[in-house]
Amino acid sequence: MTLPLLPNSLTDGRPTMLGVLGGGQLGRMFVHAAQSLGYETVVLDPDRHSPAGRISHHFIEAGYRDPDGLRELAARAQAITTEFENVPAESLAELARTRPVAPPAECVAIAQDRVREKAHFARCAARAEQAPSGPGGVAPAPYAVIETEVDLSAVPDALLPGILKTARMGYDGKGQARVATRDELAAAWHGMGGVACVLEQLLPLAFECSVIVARGRDGQVVSLPVQRNLHRDGILAVTEVYEGNVPPALVRQAQTATIDIANELNYVGVLCVEYFVLQDGRLIVNEMAPRPHNSGHYTVDACDASQFDLQVRTLAGLPLPPPRQHSAAIMLNLLGDLWFDAAGAPRPLPWADVLALPGAHLHLYGKTEARPGRKMGHLTFTGPDAASVRERALRAAALLGIEAF
């Protein structure tokens, strides 16, 4: 397939079609962005009621390893992406035999394995430190890989207290345990089934932030602003993006490090890298997501190109002009807990009062059932300055029963 795939173009007499593995909210917002440029879309997901599948031109109900489903996806779509990192990298590699796929399967495989991911971060930081100019490299927290009882016994005392994380299939705080002693470490590792894990030294955090970049096949990279993030119970709760939300020196360092990480991977697509800012001001790289990210949802309302627009552009081989943020923004995640009262009974939410607040942008994901901890939507506030946006976001949080920030 020859790129670029231009908007409003035809392939074999039909509108050009873009495909996505995964039918969740990220896939849904990708579909919206693709359709706005005139592309048709096809979604593959095992859930026939998936948010993206319900709005796509075509839907394939199949598992991510299903050979018939993958063949149909490749037959329908002229280019294919993914909405989350835990799709099998092997499926992406198979699709890439006949279709342009972004992100590349090897990049997804690295992001799926914390051991390989941290090794990549460490290599990028070491190379950056050798550069004659620039803001310097950003290394991961001190860590140890634990795959065997021998590894467990060899863990340096300096890494405790720490956070034990499974090497694979961990996100939104899942597959993690905080440990303070060797006994707690051993119990946690055995409790996780003795699978490959990474133990990270627990560091004194000031706050967390993230950077989203988009990289084309020609190596061009553009960056969105640095997002300041607040997590609760391991799940993103609030993202704030406005001038001064992060010190300028850290903004430059985080954006440069993220671009280096993408370039060293020869990445294609949208990539998010998450960072810790320590109490002493140092920046530590935490993890990456080879896809659009929850912390970037504000871009739909506050930027002239959203992270999903950039995902479409990188997939189709379109130009990548630097995105511009035109409004201060604060995003609140809307979890399924809000749909229930203290007794666990369903409750109505005061959407009319929320939407009466200036600058409110409500995005609900079309999920058919609310559950505690489930991401049901997000609410972004935009405005001319951080103070007014924050005041309205806090009013909305109070109306909805979200803890103040």
Query: What is the pLDDT confidence band of residue 133, given thresholds at 50, 70 and 90?
Result: confident
Q: Is the pLDDT of residue 170 over 80?
A: no
pLDDT in tens, 226-247: 999 999 999 999 999 999 999 9
Which of these three, 74, 101, 128, is where a domain ends? Answer: 101
d(CA 209, CA 232): 14
Instruction: Give pTM, 2 decimals.
Output: 0.96
> Dihedral angle at the C-alpha atoms of 107, 111, 112, 114, nearest 10 degrees?
140
Edge to edge, the sheet with strand 162-166 lists 143-146, 197-201, 162-166, 176-179
C-alpha torsion angle, residues 113, 114, 119, 125 (rounded to 10) = 130
**pLDDT of 77-125, one tens digit each?**
999 999 999 899 999 999 999 999 999 999 999 999 999 999 999 999 9
> Which tokens is 399 given?
């109306």
DSSP helix/strand/coil, 79: strand
Domains held by the chain: number:
3
pLDDT tens-digit readout, 39-51: 999 999 999 999 9
The tokens for 286 are: 């935490």
Give the pLDDT band of residue 131 (cuts 50, 70, 90).
Answer: confident
Length of the chain in terms of residues written: 405
DSSP secondary structure letter of residue 195: -
Per-residue pLDDT at 136 exceeds 90: no
Residues 153 and 300 in one domain: no
Helix, strand, coil percentages, rounded to 5, for the chain: 30, 30, 40
Give pLDDT, residue 279: 98
134 has a pLDDT exceeding 80: no
Torsion angle, CA of 394/397/398/400, rounded to 10 degrees? 160
Residue 130 pLDDT > 90, yes or no? no
CATH at 183: 3.30.1490.20
Domain boundary among 153, 169, 201: 201
Parent domain of 64: 10-101
Percentage, residues of the chain above pLDDT 70: 99
Residues 301 and 379 in one domain: yes
SS3 (DSSP) at 278: strand
pLDDT at 166: 97
From CA 111, how far away is CA 118, in angstroms rounded? 9
Kindly state the average pLDDT of the residues 317-342.
98
Nearest to 368 by CA among 27, 49, 61, 58: 49
The CATH number that applies at residue 354 is 3.30.470.20
Sorted by sequence, the CB contacts under 8 Å of residue 247 that are 6+ apart come out as 281
Task: Tell me which of 132-141, 208-217, 299-308 is least confident.
Answer: 132-141
At 132 the pLDDT is: 75
Are 256 and 391 in a shared domain?
yes
Beta strand 205-215 pairing with 221-223: antiparallel
Q: Does residue 405 belong to any structural domain of this protein?
A: no
Query: Has residue 173 got a pLDDT over 80?
Result: no
Based on the fold, state whether residues 213 and 187 are members of the same structural domain: no
pLDDT at 74 over 90: yes
Residue 172 confidence (pLDDT) above 70: no
Q: Among the three residues 76, 101, 126, which one is the final residue of a domain in this structure?
A: 101
What does the pLDDT look like over 187-212, one tens digit per residue?
Answer: 999 999 999 999 999 999 999 999 99
Q: Mean pLDDT over all residues of the chain?
A: 96
